[in-house]
Structure 1
């Protein structure tokens, strides 16, 4: 029997990250802007079309931005910051 088995991964292969959606962009330029914000924090990002590809639209059409699941919370905090809630009443 050979050293390699067909169709199975070896134990030395790193696990593939699970990618999760963190943002929705209306078109490619908006998606690229959001992706560059993520890149500034060294967060890997994938962009994919959210609908069927229409060649006439070129850069138009919605996009989804995906990041590894372990970086999703950080990416969402960067892309959609929430105002802090005051701990007490204003005096």
Structure 2
């Protein structure tokens, strides 16, 4: 793993930890079950931090529509999309 990828993953983990909506049996409602812990509109905010790390503008298209249901999904899928995007650009 490159240092850029390591920084990217660490930033995504921190972002998730700071912003994810808690879900669980205590207090979760039917409405809570319909909303991802980090929905796509919130996830777009992390692009500012990612752009500082990679030194390039990252399109919002790398964000999964509907959001992310777990920290692992958020980190794995979004970091892969960003790395894929960076590899496709000169």
**Max Rg structure:** 1
* Higher relative helix content: 2
Q: Normalising by the residue count of structure 2, what TM-score does the alignment of the two structures yield?
A: 0.27
* Higher relative strand content: 1
Q: Normalising by the residue count of structure 1, what TM-score does the alignment of the two structures yield?
A: 0.27
